Amino acid sequence: MSKIKVTVNHNRCVGSRLCVGFLPDVFDMNEMGQSTVIKVESASPLELVQTAEQCPQCAIRVEDTETGEVLFPPSELET
């Protein structure tokens, strides 16, 4: 099974908590009120991408570390 890495860009996260709402086992809020990844293995790659898509700030990045492929966000959404 491929290894998935999920990161939250804190220069973009505004603390909407949507990711925590959709995948509470993967994401949690830190003491600054921003999202942080607690357990990436708690969800499938598809669930992770679908949840990353819900972020209004495109702050969540999902990568396949074996292939180096960025599963989210697509390049046109990166500033």
Partner 1 sequence: METTVLKDDLMTPEVIADPHSYYRQLRETERVHWNEKWKGWVLTGYKECVDVLRDPDHFSSDRMGYLANELSPKEQEEIAPIFKVLKYWMVFRDPPSHTVLRMLLNKLFTPVAIERYRPMVRKIVQKTLDRVIDKGEMEVVRDFAYDIPMAVILELIGAPDLDREKIKEWSEAIGVFFFIKADEPKRREIACEGITALVNYIEPLIAHRREHPGIDLISLLISAEEAGQITYDDVLGTCVLLIFGGHETTMNLIANGAWAFMNNAEQWELLSKNPALIKKAVEELLRYDGSVKTTVRWAKEDVMVADKLIKKGERLLVSLSGANRDPLQFPNPDVLDITRDPNLHVAFAHGIHVCLGASLARMEAEEAFACLTKRISCPKLKEDAYLNYYPSVIHRALKNLPITFQKLN
**Nearest approach, Cβ of residue 1 and partner 1 (Å):** 25
d(CA 34, CA 55): 12
Q: Which of 2, 3, 25, 33 binds partner 1 (CB under 8 A)?
A: 33
Strand partners, 5: 63
Q: Which of 5, 14, 39, 65 binds partner 1 (CB under 8 A)?
A: 14
Asked if 46 is part of the footprint of partner 1 (rule: CB under 8 A), the reply reads: no
Helix (H, G, I), strand (E, B) or coil at 55: coil
Strand partners, 30: none
**Nearest approach, Cβ of residue 13 and partner 1 (Å):** 8
